[in-house]
């Protein structure tokens, strides 16, 4: 089989790494890919949102399966375009990808199906939104309806900050994505990412994972695309998992099918475990980044087989097998990230990373034979171990080999889980 992976970040590197282990796969292409992906796949210089370009390439190369990493091409209909051309594609159609592409749409689906989520009000104009904030003082969460490259959510500590966010969004900060704005109640609790394979009807959740969104240790500083993730999540008990499947995942997939938009692909539910119970913070229409990196190290089953089953409506006949233990991915970011950062700095030590640590590339490029930084999130060092402490020891040991100017990373990935599990040694692991 010839596979095309669309995208060029750490998530796509981890997917390519896993796909390369599938016995039926003969060739892998990645568009546009990155310096790390280039060691496993043929990188083609086509942007992830250039749908006509990708379609022409897939036709010409007789690609058997295209796997779409990022949300942007899914939300504008890459899966529809491939399907119309008779090319198998893993990822939801445009209408189904609205679950991520429009927060108002996602809230409507949740309300119709009684899926627990934060209380919210949607606005199409600044005036009523600002008036609402005056009537409901205190912390609030302000969200642009459409895609905003991960920056469309403002968790406002007070009314002044919420007002500023509303004004900026209606003022055009996110273009058309901010034409509608949601104000929702501020929730507190542990977050967990549940990614599930869906075939339109059947839902097969992957192991639970937890991202670390803030740039700084102890969850301090601004939000990022994600600074690290581990799986599985100890507080996510089998009882919670069963409820999430019954009360969130299956009703969502049923509601999408009933609305005429059967959901095929990965459904990513961002959940918060609050005192009042589980609530959905968001849906994404794709694999998470960096959650995918540890998940791919834990997945034992053939990923390509599972994806084909999802496309063909045959997930009911599958079982997903996992390696025992835990895995963790730690993002190595460029100096300044998530603010402005430099690109083009040489990365050294990648050849000295001990075996057992996979260094997935997120933002890298090859310039005159040298791997250089090319993004804010540069690498994601990932390791599996018999348990979370073992995986953490392995990954942080591996990171010591790597260096680039300004490199920074969180030393406390997975630490809260260790504390909760009452594990000794969590204090020394820094």
Q: Which residues of this chain interact with ligand GLY, rule CB under 6 A?
A: 211, 226, 284, 288-289, 291
Longest distance between any two alpha carbons in the chain, whole Å: 61
* Residue 158 near ligand AMP by CB under 6 A: no
Placement of tokens 């089989």 in the chain: 1
Residue 226 contact, options ligand AMP, ligand GLY, none, Cβ 5-8 Å cut-off depending on partner type: ligand GLY
- Tell the smallest beta-carbon distance from residue 262 to ligand GLY (Å): 23
- Return the one option of ligand GLY, ligand AMP, none that residue 383 interacts with (CB less than 5 to 8 A, by type): none
Min. distance of Cβ 293 from ligand AMP in angstroms?
Answer: 18
Angle between helices 303-311 and 10-19 (to 10 degrees): 100
Nearer to ligand AMP, 35 or 140 (CB): 140
Position 199 contacts ligand AMP (CB under 6 A): no
Nearer to ligand GLY, 150 or 325 (CB): 150
Chosen residue from 187, 266, 311, 371 binding ligand AMP by CB under 6 A: 187
Q: How far is the CB of 178 from ligand AMP (least distance, A)?
A: 14
User: What are the φ/ψ torsions at residue 66 (nearest 5 degrees)?
Assistant: -110, 130
Whether residue 209 contacts residue 391, with contact meaning beta carbons closer than 8 Å, is answered with no
CB of 260 to ligand GLY, least distance (A): 26
Nearest to 303 by CA among 25, 19, 17: 19
155 binds, among ligand GLY, ligand AMP, none (CB under 5 to 8 A by kind): ligand AMP
Supply the minimum distance, in Å, between the C-beta of residue 44 and ligand GLY: 24
Q: Contact letters (x/-) for ligand AMP, 332-371, by CB under 6 A?
A: ----------------------------------------
User: 192 - beta bridge partners?
Assistant: 271
Residues 347/364, Cβ–Cβ less than 8 Å: yes
> What residues between 248 and 287 interact with ligand AMP by CB under 6 A?
270, 281-282
**Minimum distance from CB of 117 to ligand GLY (Å)?**
17
Per the CB < 8 A criterion, the answer to whether 309 and 317 are in contact is yes
Q: Which residue has the tokens 């079982």?
A: 319
Whole-angstrom Cα distance, residue 58 to residue 75?
19
Distance between start and end Cα atoms, the chain = 43
358 binds, among ligand GLY, ligand AMP, none (CB under 5 to 8 A by kind): none
How far is CA 189 from each of CA 278, 281, 313, 338, rounded to the nearest angstrom? 9, 11, 35, 24
Structure tokens at 193: 């990412």
Instruction: Give the position of tokens 């809260």.
Output: 416
Q: Could you say whether residue 148 binds ligand AMP (CB under 6 A)? A: no
Beta strands in 254-325 (DSSP E): 264-274, 277-284
Q: Which stretch binds ligand AMP (CB under 6 A): 180-188, 238-246, 314-322, 412-420?
A: 180-188
């Amino acid at each position: 089989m010839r596979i095309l992976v669309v995208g060029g970040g750490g998530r796509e590197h981890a997917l390519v790494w896993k796909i390369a282990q599938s016995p039926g796969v003969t060739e892998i292409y990645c568009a546009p890919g990155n310096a790390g992906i280039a060691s496993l796949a043929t990188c083609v210089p086509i942007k992830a949102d250039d749908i006509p370009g990708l379609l022409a390439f897939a036709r010409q190369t007789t690609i058997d399966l295209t796997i779409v990493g990022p949300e942007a091409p899914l939300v504008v209909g890459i899966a529809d375009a491939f399907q119309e051309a008779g090319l198998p594609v893993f990822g939801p159609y445009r209408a189904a990808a609205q679950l991520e592409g429009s927060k108002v749409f996602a809230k409507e689906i949740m309300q119709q199906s009684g899926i627990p989520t934060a209380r919210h009000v949607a606005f199409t104009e600044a005036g009523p939104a600002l008036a609402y904030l005056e009537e409901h003082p205190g912390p609030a969460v302000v969200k642009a309806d459409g895609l905003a490259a991960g920056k469309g959510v403002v968790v406002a500590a007070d009314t002044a900050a919420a007002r500023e966010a509303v004004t900026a969004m209606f003022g055009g900060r996110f273009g058309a994505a901010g034409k509608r704005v949601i104000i929702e109640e501020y929730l507190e609790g542990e977050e967990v990412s549940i990614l599930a394979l869906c075939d339109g009807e059947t839902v097969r959740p992957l192991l639970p994972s937890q991202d670390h969104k803030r740039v700084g240790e102890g969850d301090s500083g601004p939000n990022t695309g994600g600074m690290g993730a581990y799986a599985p999540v100890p507080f996510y008990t089998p009882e919670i998992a069963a409820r999430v499947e019954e009360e969130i995942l299956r009703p969502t997939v049923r509601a999408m099918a009933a609305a005429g938009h059967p959901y095929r692909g990965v459904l990513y539910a961002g959940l918060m475990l609050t005192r009042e119970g589980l609530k959905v913070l968001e849906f994404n229409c794709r694999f998470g980044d960096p959650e995918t990196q540890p998940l791919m190290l834990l997945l034992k089953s053939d990923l390509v087989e599972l994806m084909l089953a999802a496309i063909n409506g045959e997930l009911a006949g599958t079982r997903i097998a996992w390696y025992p233990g835990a895995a963790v991915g730690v993002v190595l970011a460029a100096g300044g990230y998530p603010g402005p950062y430099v690109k083009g700095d040489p990365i050294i030590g990648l050849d000295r990373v001990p075996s057992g640590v996979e260094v997935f590339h997120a933002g890298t490029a090859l310039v005159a034979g040298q791997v250089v930084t090319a993004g804010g999130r540069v690498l994601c060092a990932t390791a599996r171990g018999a348990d979370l402490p073992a995986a953490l020891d392995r990954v942080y040991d591996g990171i010591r080999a790597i260096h680039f100017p300004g490199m920074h990373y969180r030393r406390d990935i997975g630490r809260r889980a260790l504390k909760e599990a009452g594990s000794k040694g969590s204090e020394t692991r820094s």
